Amino acid sequence: MSKNLVIVESPAKAKTIQKYLGKDFEVKSSFGHIRDLPKKGMGIDLATFSPDYEVSADKKKLVTELKAAVKKAEMVWLASDEDREGEAIAWHLADELKLKPENRKRIVFHEITKNAILKAIENPRDIDQNLVNAQQARRVLDRIVGFEMSPVLWKKVKPGLSAGRVQSVAVRLIVEREKEIREFTPKASFKLDGIFLNNNEQEIAAKLKKDFEKEEQAEKFLEQAKTTEFKVLNVETKPGTRSASAPFTTSTLQQEASSRLGYNVTNTMRLAQRLYEEGFITYMRTDSVNLSQEAIEGAKKQIISEYGAEYSSPRNYTTKSASAQEAHEAIRPTDFGVKSIGDAQLNKLYQLIYRRTLASQMSNAKIEKTVIEIGNASLPHHFEAQGEVIIFDGFLKAYGIVKTEDEDEENNEKLLPKVKVGEVLSYKTITATEKFTRPSARYTEAGLVRKLEELGIGRPSTYAPTIQTIQNREYVDKREIEPQTRQVIKMSLVKDSIKKVVLDEKFGGDKNKFIPTDIGEVVNDFLTDNFKEILDYGFTARVEEGFDEIANGDQKWKEMMTDFYSKFHPRIEDVEENADRATGDRLLGVDPKTGKNVHARIGRFGAMIQIGETDDEEKPIFASLMSGQNIATITFEEAIELFKLPFDLNEFEGHPVSVGVGRFGPYVKWGETFISIPKGEDPLSINQNRAEEIINEKKKADAPIATYKGDPVTKGTGRFGPFIKYKDLFINVPKKYNFDNLSQSDINELIDAKLEKEANRYIQQWEKEKISIENGRWGPFIKFGKAMFKIPKKSDDTKYDGEELKDISLDEVKKWITDQDKNAFAEKKKPAAKKATTAKKTTAAKKPAAKKK
């Protein structure tokens, strides 16, 4: 056994590091955190703010293996990442593995190269408790906020919701932007563009320096232009420069990968993690734009050899953010000699990082900007043409220019022909087009990251999980918004005559941008009304500053918790006791048929329209909203239309046909089969012919592709990817198979493997009671309905094996379930009792649970 045990947090990292260390070192992975706060319950003593950490069930076997390895090693090297999370992983390992200070060393490195690893071994340190405490403070504070605010949402909005310090602020940004867009009133104006010709018939595109508010003003100008002799009034040429951007931080990498490669934040971080662990780039979670002297020299050498000395301009950048965490380096290649790597997907991101770092060390681009003024003294306003020439490309040679999502596409500056002052120009066309102002754009993932960073909310490592969480919770989504149509006026002056046309213009459409859901808006409004401070951008940023102070040793983390909780908890109690329920209720009008109120609101299953009141003698009736509809914007007329659904059509092939809308959108129901109506198609427009077309398309898609032992096999694509279906079994099809061209042997292989797995799944099964003992990934377990329970140890403290579990009686299994959940079987009787219970009794039954909490 090796004298030295090195523990890192990922197997890929372990594999790379093992290559650089000799026989005396063994490298093992902890697979991230080995322990954390418990998944159930708060897990924090709120009197002392002491966390109750536990080793998660899936890590117990690993911890046992690590303890055995520790016993055989003379020295343990804790080599987790160099940020706060990595420091906390090292601290948990040291504590759980009972490592003494004299038998452990903490090493850090921001790149996985041989030099960096050996240098780290030569310069060990101990665990930095300040960094650990900063991570604990974040974890504990976020747990308290989530665990105390979420039950308030269950009680006041809808069961199953969650709140979080950073996620709720991110949702607020998206909701506020959406409200801003809704309230925006577009203003029209007329913009004039001209195309002029010089003596050589070369075109010069120019814009009038003045916009007109009214159609008459624009038309009057065109009338004046008819008889005007246009001249070059002025030509101005200015030298200018463009400089490269700083090397990547986590945030700028996420933004640029989104703009240039179309990667989402989660995908970018996953690929960057792999590049880091395989030794290609430096650590990918950083706020710093700083480069080491070694990196600057390496870039200089590569630039001179590839482009020439005139392209080299070594420089260092300083981080503007006062809260930049620890002394990290920017994200850069570890070796500038490696220009590309084998894996195509990894290579795309690597190339982006490689070229950005190289460009940051290159000379400025030199440009020459030309502005030509065109007009006549008789005209009240003149045209202006702008263009530029790149004299020396500098850093653009490596990186090029990328536009941000805020830049106007119309501002493309072109190369202009040579003209001189006084030269007469003729116009080819002068066009006046009605243009409308646009609201602020919805957030893309990159835009949201940029805004969070700008406000000082969260840290590089939190952006990806935060964005994923708010989508998983269905507070926001990226559904496509269909554009609307409006009419615009366009007037063209060509050959001394003005032609006027009215055109249709699409506007307001969007895709792949964040849009709040109905529940997201209701939750946001409730939280901003009742927890102003927690949802305040400034407060969230100040909390981050507090974590920084803890990391620097300037504040004690439990004092920060005490101060926060003393203000936060009384607010929770007050809101729980006194706040009104939130449903986002909008009164749309009165139903002409019944004379009852029509409401748009959040119900138990989401957004809905309700006719009537809940306390009326006659129960209210409900209709689900369709995709793209929203309780904040739906009109009375649109709401009433929804009650036309579902409607019946004629039978088809002996089965009834109807059209409706459900939780997953509009559908055609044929017998017992629900078939989704294609995106963007109005369900109210579906007639018998169209319904039959949709059914036939479904039949074609569901037609068997093969048989297995005489039974049909079909295929489809679901939530978890492509699958084949045999009887009641859904079998995922891995990427190694050609899904579009599955052979009979492929199908046999997939089904055989699934049947074998299913055969080994059950040790014992009691179908009537919905109880089974099953083989799981981490060993046998009990399943009761959808709930899972542990199998206790035997009286001699050893585990049951599979053979012994085959002889366990149903009564014994029920006892094991009851030991873990006293109400497991009592709860099953509730539905029957509920039928006879009045509304009043149900309410009373709920009260003790609320008091208990």
Cα separation, 25 vs 75, whole angstroms: 10
Give CA–CA dist 138/135, Å, rounded.
5
Q: Which residues are known to be catalytic?
A: 283
Residue whose entry in the numeric block shows the structure tokens 């906390």:
88
C-beta separation of 622 from 600 below 8 A: no
Q: Which two tokens stand for residue 55?
A: 């080793």
Which residues contact residue 61 at a Cβ distance below 8 angstroms, ignoring those fewer than 6 apart?
A: 778
Question: Chain centroid to CA 709: how far?
Answer: 44
Please list, residue by residue across 796-835, b when 16 or more beta carbons sit within 10 angstroms of its beta carbon and e when fewer do.
eeeebeeeebeebeeeebbebbeeeeeebeeeeeeeeeee
Structure tokens at 400: 């090029």
Q: Quick one: how many helices (H) and strands (E) in the chain?
A: 24, 34
Backbone angles phi, psi at 13, to 5 degrees: -65, -40
Q: Which residues pair with 331 in a beta bridge?
A: 248
Residue 498 CB contacts under 8 Å (≥ 6 apart), including other chains: 219, 222, 223, 226, 491, 492
Taking a C-beta distance cutoff of 8 angstroms, is the pair 164, 145 a contact? yes
Q: Where are the alpha helices (DSSP H) in 157-306?
A: 165-183, 215-226, 250-256, 265-277, 293-306
Residue 330 · residue 292 · CB < 8 Å: no
Q: What letter does residue 125 receive in the DSSP assignment? A: B
Least Cα distance to 813 among 849, 853, 769 occurs for 769
Q: Within 10 A of 9 (CB to CB), how many other CB atoms are there?
A: 22
9: which DSSP letter? S
Q: Is-contact 299 357, C-beta < 8 A?
A: yes
What is d(CA 616, CA 595) in angstroms, rounded to the nearest whole number? 13
Phi, psi of 677 (to 5 degrees): -80, 135
Q: Compute the C-alpha angle 295/366/257, nearest 5°.
A: 50
